[in-house]
Amino acid sequence: MQTLVTSYTPSIASSKLSSSCANAGKYSRSNHQFNQSLSITGRFSRDPARGSRRNRYLLRADKIETLSEGISVGGQVRACYRGGWGFASFNQVSALEEQVAAAIAAARWVGEEETLLAPVDPVQDRQVLRLSGTDPRQVPLAEKKDLCDRYAEILRATSDQITTTSVRYSDHTQRVLLATSEGTLLEQSWVDLEMRFAATARNGDTVQTGRETVGSRQAYEDLTRLDEKVRSAAQRAVHSLTLPPVPGNTCTVVIDPILTGLFVHEAFGHLSEADMAYENPDLLEVMSLGRRFGPPELQIFDGAAVAGHRGSYAYDDEGTPATVTQIIQDGRLVGRLHSRETAGKLGETPTGNARCLSYHYSPIVRMTNTWIERGTTPVADLFADIEQGVYARNWIGGMTNGEMFTFTAGEAWMIRHGKIAEPVRDVTLSGNAFKTLVDIEAIGDDFLWDESGGCGKGGQSGLPVGCGGPSLRIRNVVVGGKAET
């Protein structure tokens, strides 16, 4: 039997203003079934200054809808027995022993098979992600409110056609303690910042929305110099009111790096999460290592070991060191994203992708920073020889269902005779992720990281991630818009 006690303390989740604990877990030692009950108690912080503090501010139009601050300290215990997991979360350290017993009992009730967990070496370490500028915890809440008010006024002042605006601000500092019965003892802490802006414009029955999101793990200053980005969101909404809808068709499209990052994360990244595969034999067969999914120039990676992004960290929520995993190499599938359990069950190596949103949830396989490597085609050459197509930039929404995807572009233009032509609106891009990868015709020599992501899976939404990539030229994309007559 395997008991994991994981105790997690979210540190200061400083402010969350919106205008409009990690986990303590211990896993069973690799590929073996344990008959002995092992347990270890993770350390816990009861000092509110080192707990999780969260300020929320929501400004919609000129009305404050939410303004709150909260502090939370808590932990979780996970135990594994014969492949079955027991889980307990709590917010009083005095209840730790009781919760350990509860997790062990639950694991015994459900465990009926063999415990298969890929091995990792125990480690004792402390990692603090240092800020490059001002710590948002040192900024008064009133100053953060003033920042939101300033951006809201920029949105409203853009045009009389702006009918609705929203500005959301959040900064969240976490301090996580992780202890396992294998001997791992870790402490990690970081600050995550995010702002979201939206403006909706109306002209009669025509309604258009412009959005922007900015995220950072660097400094409060990253959120204070966004006037032009905020203004551009409102301007796009107003400008789109007068644009013609894009003709619905199947054609060649060129997408910018932001849409590329969204595509690789949503349409393919989730399919690379190994729990999706081992729980679905049909998908596992499709996602077989060595299979070709794209052109020889295509390289796709995921990894938290890439420093400076919102999905970066030193260890995941099982204590596995962060890595960089190549998923696609020269167009072929060569890797998957793993927890220790999925790696053990598939006979592969753990990649450090077990993550949980807070101590209320068990770690599951999640992306971190996911990107397509830059190519060699000059961006201007991506448009060459396209008689009629679409150039799409940014995004305002989207959805996926298995390998099928639909994304709505933030702005778009027709491509005619190899040149960018007139702007259009209501552009949706749809397709099958596997076929779309094969249909990549050229990969641009540009590259951009997008730090706006908040990923959702398994009821855990808003997990910070990074996405990146170059511009892409893709044939046979279904472009939704107004039907041609």
| Mean pLDDT, range 417-434, rounded to an integer | 96
Residue 409 to residue 125: CA distance in whole angstroms = 43
Q: Is the pLDDT of residue 267 over 70?
A: yes
Which 3 state secondary structure label does DSSP give 379? helix
Task: Report pTM.
Answer: 0.89
Q: Is the pLDDT of residue 485 over 60?
A: no
Q: Length of the chain in residues, anyone?
A: 485
Q: Is the pLDDT of residue 196 over 70?
A: yes
Place 48 in a pLDDT band, splitting at 50, 70 and 90: very low
Tens-place pLDDT, residues 98-147: 999 999 999 999 998 888 999 999 999 999 999 999 999 899 888 999 99
Q: Lowest mean pLDDT: which of 79-88, 158-167, 200-209, 250-259?
A: 79-88
Please list, in sequence order, all residues whose beta carbon lies within 8 angstroms of the beta carbon of residue 371, skipping any fewer than 6 positions away. 261, 264, 300, 301, 302, 449, 466, 467, 468, 469
- Give me 474's structure tokens: 């893709």
Residue ranges of domains in the chain, CATH in brackets: 2-240 (3.30.2290.10), 249-480 (no CATH)
| Mean pLDDT, range 192-199, rounded to an integer | 95
**Amino acid identity, residue 431?**
G
Q: Is the pLDDT of residue 68 over 90?
A: no
Residue 44 φ then ψ, to 5°: -135, 140
Spatial CA neighbour of 75 closest among 94, 49, 55, 53: 94
